[in-house]
Chains A and B, each alone.
Chain A
Amino acid sequence: MILPSFELHRPSSLAEAIDLVRGFEARGESYDFLSGGTDLLANYKCKINVKRHVVSLRHLPELLGISRDSIGAGELLWRIAESQEIHESFPALAKAAEWVASPLIRESATIGGNLLQDTRCYHYNQTYWWRVAHESCLKAEADVCRVVPGEKTCVATYCGDLAPVLLCMGASVRLVGPDGSRDVPLSAFYIDEGIQRFVKKPSEILSEVRIPTEARRRKVAYRKLRLRQSIDFPDAGIAFAAELSGSRIVNCWIASTAVGSAALLHPDVAQKAMGRDLGEPLAGELAAALVASARPYRNTFFAPGYRKEMLGVLLRRAMAEVGGFEPAPSQSAAG
C-alpha cells in the first residue's frame, strides 16, 4: 500500500516544531505529528484521517532521556524495556513496554506514541475500499456508528499497554504547544470517547512522561489478553498497584486498557481493597466487581463477554504477582 501524499517537516528542536504548528494553525492547514510511525503510517496507508502536513518529532532532543522521574516521549519502547533504571525501579513498566506488539514494532514505536495511540475498531481499521463498501463509520467518513446502532459517540477501543501501568504509578504528561506548556495527570488525560480520546489539543506535543517519587513505593503488575503472544494489540489489559504494610493494603489502584475508548482507573473497585489483606479472597471479590462494571463493545477480535470475564482473570493474576500468592486456576491462556 502506497502512503498518500503529504508534506514532511523535520524540525530539529521543539521550538521549531511549535513554530511550524503556529504557521499551520494560522493558515488553517491540517497536520499530524509523527513519532515512531507504527500507528500513524499504518492508518495513513488505509487512508484514515490523512493530513496535509506531517511533522516528524524524531529529531527533537527535548523528547529524549530516561530516568526514574521522567521519560522523554520520543524514547523507543525497546529502550524503555531494556533500561536498567526502569527495570530496577518500575519493572511492570519495563514489562508492559516489552509486551507491546512485536520486537520489530518496538524498534520504532515510542512511549509518547503508545500513550497517544489511535483508538481501534473493526469498522475503522480497514482499507479505504473496505470502509467505503461498508458505508464507513462515525470515526472516518460517515456519521453512523456500526458497532452500536444509533450511537452518537464513538466507541472505538484504546489499546495502549503503557497507559494502565503509568496510571497506577500516578504519572502525568507534559504537553507543549503554542500557548506554553502544562502538566496533566494521566488520570485526567484520557476521555472515554473514541474520536476525541484525550484532553491534548491538536497543536500540543506530548514531550515527556513524568513519574512522581511515590511511584517507587508502589508494587505494580500488568497482565494482558491478546490472540497471539506477539504482534497483536491487547483485547483487554489490567494494571494493579498497591502500597503495602506487610500483607495489608494501605492504598491501591486498578487501571484497565482495551475495554473502552480510554485507559481508565477504577477507583470504586480499588476502594474495596483499602485496609484489607492482599490475597486470593480479596482478588476474587475485586475481580467480580470489576467484571460487573465493565462494558466492552463488539469491536475487537474477542467477544465482549469473554473480554469482560478475562478482566477478572487478569486482575487476579496481577494481584497475585503483587501479593506473591497463587491465583485461582482458570481455563484461559491469557498472559
Chain B
Amino acid sequence: MRKILLRLRVNGAHHEVAVRPSATVLDVVRDTLHLTGTKRGCDMGTCGCCTVLVDGRARLGCLTLAAEVEGCEVRTIESLREGEQLHPLQSAFAECGAAQCGFCTPGFLMTCSALLSRTPTPTPEQVKDAISGNLCRCTGYTKMYEAIDRAAAQMRTEPAREPELSSREAVSGGSR
C-alpha cells in the first residue's frame, strides 16, 4: 500500500512524515519520531499506556490514525517537563511512589495533565473517573490519588520541586 505524506505538529515541532495510511499516532511517535516515552501496552484501547494529548484532550494513541490528527496539536510525555524542570505531576508521582515499573506512568501523566488543565481542583470522584481508563498493575492507585492531589495543590500555589533523581526516569517515560 502506498505511503501518505502527513504534516504533524508534535510537542510544538512540525514534522513531515511518510507513513502507511493505517499508521496510528502511537506508531508514528514511537517508530518514526522516536519519542519512545509513549508506551505500547495492550495496543487495543484497553490499558491507556499510549495516551497522548490531541488539542489538549487525552486520546488513545493506539486507536487514533495519524492521518486523523493532521492539523492538531499532539503532545506526548516528552513535552510535559520544561527543560530540566519536571512537571508538578511528574514530581508528585515520583515523591508519592505513584510510579513503580513506570510503564503505565506516561499514560497516567498525560491523562492527569488533561484533567488538571480543565479541572484545576478535581474532586476525588473526578480524579477516580478520569484515570479509570488507565490500568496500572503495580501501585494499586492509592499513591496515584495522593500524587494527583498533591500536584493539583502545587499547581494552584507553588512552583514544582525536584524529586529524588532515582524516580526521574520512570515519570519521564524512560522505563522500557
Task: Let me know if B45 and A38 touch, CB within 8 A.
Answer: yes
B59 at the interface (CB under 8 A from A): yes
Q: How far is the CB of A109 from chain B (nearest CB, A)?
A: 9
Q: Do A229 and B45 form a contact, CB below 8 Å, given A8-B4, A56-B65, A104-B58?
A: no
Residues of A within 8 A of B22 (CB): 2-6, 8, 44, 54
For B26-44 the 0/1 string (1 means CB < 8 A from A) is: 0100000000000000011
Q: Please name the residue on chain B nearest to A43 by beta carbon.
A: B44
A137–B80 Cα gap in the complex (Å)? Answer: 46
* Contact (Cβ within 8 A) A231 B133: yes
Asked if A42 meets B20 with Cβ closer than 8 Å, knowing A5-B1, A103-B130, A229-B132, the reply is no
Bound: A259/B21 CA distance, A: 36
CA distance A54 to B64 in the complex (A): 14
B115 → A minimal CB distance (Å): 9
Interchain CB contact under 8 A, A37 and B48: no
User: Is A107 an interface position by the 8 A CB rule?
Assistant: yes
Q: Report the Cα distance A45→B45, complex, angstroms.
A: 11
Is A174 an interface position by the 8 A CB rule?
no
By a CB distance below 8 angstroms, the chain B residues around A5 are 1, 20-22
Contact B63 A42 (CB under 8 A): yes
B77 within 8 A of A: no
Within the complex, the shortest CB–CB distance from A234 to chain B, in Å, comes to 15
CA distance A229 to B128 in the complex (A): 11
CB <8 Å contact, B45 and A42: yes
Contact B133 A101 (CB under 8 A): yes
By the criterion CB–CB under 8 Å, are A1 and B44 in contact? yes
CA distance A22 to B117 in the complex (A): 44
Q: Is the CB of B133 within 8 A of A1?
A: no
* Contact assessment for A102 and B64 in the assembled complex, using a CB-CB cutoff below 8 Å: no
Report the minimum CB–CB distance from A50 to chain B (whole Å): 10
Residue from A7, A8, A42 within 8 A of B44 (CB atoms):
A42
Most buried by B among A3, A7, A44, A230: A3
Q: A101-B133, A104-B51 are in contact. Are A37 and B65 (CB under 8 A)?
A: yes
* Contact size range, A: 20 to 34
Instruction: Determine whether B79 belongs to the interface, using a CB cutoff of 8 Å to chain A.
Output: no
Report B-chain residues with C-beta under 8 Å of the C-beta of A38. Answer: 45, 60, 63
Interface of A is mostly: loop
CB nearest to B1 among chain A residues: A5
Chain A proximity mask over B46-70: 1 for CB below 8 Å, otherwise 0:
1010010000011110011101100
B90 at interface by CB-CB < 8 Å: no
C-alpha spacing A8/B66, complex, angstroms: 11
Assess whether A291 is interfacial by the CB under 8 Å rule.
no
CB distance A105 to B45 under 8 Å?
A: yes
Q: Which residues in A have their C-beta under 8 angstroms from that of B57?
A: 107
Q: Flag whether A248 is at the interface (Cβ < 8 A).
A: no
Q: How far is the CA of A58 from the CA of B60 in the complex (A)?
A: 16
For residue B129, CB closer than 8 A to chain A, the reply is yes
Return the contact of B65 from the options A41, A42, A101, A104 (Cβ within 8 A). A41
Whether A108 sits at the interface, judged by CB under 8 Å, is yes
Inter-chain contacts of A42 with B (CB < 8 A): 44-45, 63
Contact of B59 (CB < 8 Å), options: A1, A3, A41, A107: A107
CB A75 to nearest CB in B, in angstroms, measures 14
Using CB atoms, name the residue of chain A closest to B54: A107
**Residues of A contacting B58 in the complex (Cβ-Cβ under 8 angstroms):** 103-104, 107
CB contacts under 8 Å to B, within A201-259, are: 229-231
> Which A residues fall within an 8 A CB radius of B?
1-8, 10, 34, 37-38, 41-42, 44-45, 54, 56, 58, 101-105, 107-108, 229-231
Sample (16) of A-B pairs whose CB atoms are under 8 Å apart? A1-B44, A2-B27, A3-B20, A3-B23, A4-B22, A8-B22, A41-B24, A42-B45, A42-B63, A102-B48, A104-B51, A104-B59, A104-B111, A105-B133, A107-B57, A107-B58
Top 9 A-B residue pairs of the complex, sorted by shortest distance between their CB atoms = A102-B133, A230-B132, A104-B133, A8-B21, A5-B1, A3-B22, A103-B133, A1-B43, A41-B63
